[in-house]
Amino acid sequence: NAGVTQTPKFQVLKTGQSMTLQCAQDMNHNSMYWYRQDPGMGLRLIYYSASEGTTDKGEVPNGYNVSRLNKREFSLRLESAAPSQTSVYFCASSATGTASYEQYFGPGTRLTVT
């Protein structure tokens, strides 16, 4: 049982390049989330998916797109990377719709945009 997995672990992009961050969970959770973490800012929600087939914007969605590919997988795409998107990106999942709303995180992707 791997929990939440993310790929890649590290990535360096040049301004204007695009890339997709991958996330998968094996806990049969309904909801999945993408956060970014910057120094002194805590975790900020980019997008979330309450259930398969739905996605919604979070606090900082500009410059990002997401795809909930199936119940297990939720990807985050940067279409044209900017230096302001240098950050650590975390995917998380939770079993919403039940008594438990516990949210579990992946190990993160460290992205640098030059």
Partner 1 sequence: GQQLNQSPQSMFIQEGEDVSMNCTSSSIFNTWLWYKQEPGEGPVLLIALYKAGELTSNGRLTAQFGITRKDSFLNISASIPSDVGIYFCAGRTSGTYKYIFGTGTRLKVLA
Choices 20-28, 67-75, 79-87, 104-112; region in contact with partner 1 by CB under 8 A: 104-112
Quote the strand ranges of 1-108, DSSP E. Answer: 4-7, 10-13, 19-25, 31-38, 42-49, 56-57, 64-68, 74-78, 87-94, 103-105
The bridge status of strand 64-68 relative to strand 74-78 is: antiparallel
Residue 69 beta carbon to partner 1: minimum distance, rounded to whole angstroms: 19
Q: Is 42 helix (H, G, I), strand (E, B) or coil?
A: strand
Residues 5-44, interacting with partner 1 (CB under 8 A): 31, 33, 35, 40-44
Distance CA 52, CA 43 (A): 23
Q: Is 99 helix (H, G, I), strand (E, B) or coil?
A: coil
Choices 11-19, 57-65, 68-76, 78-86; region in contact with partner 1 by CB under 8 A: 57-65
Distance CA 112, CA 15 (A): 10
Choices 20-28, 53-61, 66-74, 79-87; region in contact with partner 1 by CB under 8 A: 53-61
- What is the x/- site pattern for partner 1, positions 71-90, by CB under 8 A? -------------------x
Residues forming contacts to partner 1 in the complex (CB under 8 A) are 4, 31, 33, 35, 40-45, 48, 50, 58-60, 90, 94, 96, 99-108
